[in-house]
Structure formats: C-alpha cells, structure tokens
Amino acid sequence: MPRSMTGFAKIEKEFPEGRIMSEARSLNSRYLEMNIRLPRADYASEQKLRDLVKRHVKRGKVDVTIKWEKTADEMTIPRVNENVVRQYAAMVRDLKDNYGLKGDLTIESIFTLKDVFTYEENNSLSEEILIETCSNLLVALNEERAREGEYIRNDLFERLGTITANASEIEAGWPGVITSHEDKLRARIAEITHSVAVDETRVLQEIAIYMERLDISEEIMRLKGHLDNFRNTLSSLDPMGRKLDFVIQEMVRETNTIGSKSNDLYINERVIRIKVEIEKMREQVQNVE
C-alpha cells in the first residue's frame, strides 16, 4: 500500500506538571531528512528519537517539534548557589580578621547579595515521555500519509486501466495494420513494375524485412509486463516510490518505441493517450514513499 510523503499530525496532552505539544510535518524528498526540535538540548534523547523516526518513515523530509508548557508553580525553581555563599562568608571572616571590622553575615543580608540564588527553569522532559509522545505522533503522521496514499493508489489504478485498455487496442489492431501495410507495398510494387514479371519470393522477402522494422509485438509485450509489475508493486507493503518511478521510465521507453515504429494513425492516437496517462502517473509517483 503506497504512502504519501506529505502529511501533518499534531498531538497535545496534559500532565500534572504542564502540557506537552507536538507536531510532525513531512514533505517530498529524495532521501530521508530529519529535523527534531526539543524543549532543551538533550543529545542522548534526540538520537533515540531519530532512530524512532527511521523506523516509521523511510523517505521524505520530516520535521518534529516538541514543546513543554509548564504550570505556573513549575516555571522557575530557586537554588542556593553554595559556592557564592561560601565565598561571601570567607570574605566576611577576612575583613574581620584583617581590618578589625565588626558584624555578622545574616540571613537577611544574604538575600541582598548578588548571585546567591539561581533560578533554574524546569524545561526537562523525561525520556519516557519524549519517546512515547514522538511514537504516537509518528503513528498519527503515518495514518495521515496512508490516507493520502490511498487516494494516490486509486488514481494510479484507474490510469493503469486506461493504459492497459489502449495497449490492448494496439495489440488487437496491429495485425490489421500489418496487412494494410503489406497491401500498400504490393500495390506500390505493382505500380512501379507494371506488367513486368516479379519474383514473388523476393517480394515476400522485402515485405518481411520492411515489416520487421515496423514490428511492435515485443514492445507491446514488454509494456504489458511493466503494467503488471507496476500493479503488483502497488499492492505490496514495502516502500515503493523509487521502484514505481523506475517502472514508469521503462513504460515510457516502450511507448516511445511503439510510437516511433508505427506510422499508423489508429496506433499513434492510442500511443498519445498512453503517454498522457503515464505523465500523470509520474507526477503522482513523485509523492510516494
């Protein structure tokens, strides 16, 4: 089943400590590209999240953003800077010992001194919450990509049906085209030679050589094989975008050969129809993972 490379998912969840907000966007890309934004720099968790993305997405540009909105009482946490307090206490002792100054360092005076307290923002999320959030987000993203992929799959199957029908018409009409070409050649030979006796064996040889150059039976057979390959690939569970793109290139090759060999209006009309459908399929396949 094809999956689109484009999609969007958003999940928000409440916790006692606050609210987590996460978004994932995916766009077309030849390879897998990732951009992960977290509430704080945590390289260990980020690498695990990257590994998680690789398990869910095989191709495309993926942007994952996770934000953490804390409750009011969790916004800042004061901490005593013990090194600074010790330095202030040592300075007081030195002033008293060296200069005979009097006085004590009190709790009240501590609060007036600079850098005694630091305020740490509680930006951290547990790795368990991060991984669970990212996993749920990627599942939702893939569900959206699968829905879009279903539309693409139905469109491609419809176009495959149109191409198959035109290829079958070419295959059914080709023998008549061959006979028509042979009749025209015989008439032309008779016109040129008039009543002069002509070696029938030589005529048949020339006709056979000419018809071999125009024979498209092998191209039709290969085109139908590519159509079956494309159809079977669409029904598989593996990533298929690159393979479908390759099969389309082969379909284009065979169709172009059929068109170049044939100078028959009936066949060329159907070749044009096939080319139109293949080009539309190529555009759709560019968005398949």
How many Å apart are CA 267 and CA 249, to the nearest integer? 21
Per the model's pLDDT, the better-predicted residue between 18 and 278 turns out to be 278
How many Å apart are CA 133 and CA 12, to the nearest integer? 9
Per the model's pLDDT, the better-predicted residue between 40 and 89 turns out to be 89
HSE of 233 in the Cβ direction (CA atoms, 13 Å)? Answer: 22
Closest by alpha carbon to 278, among 201, 173, 166?
166
**Bridge partners of residue 67, in order along the sequence:** 21
How many Å apart are CA 81 and CA 92, to the nearest integer? 17
Give the model confidence (pLDDT) of 92-150 as tens digits.
Answer: 888 888 888 888 888 888 888 888 877 655 556 678 888 999 999 999 999 999 999 99
> Tokens representing 275?
């080319």
Asked which of 54-58, 66-70, 187-191 is least confident by mean pLDDT, the reply is: 187-191
> Tokens representing 99?
């200069």
- Three-state secondary structure string covering 56-102: HCCCEEEEEEEEEEECHHHCEEEEECHHHHHHHHHHHHHHHHHHCCC
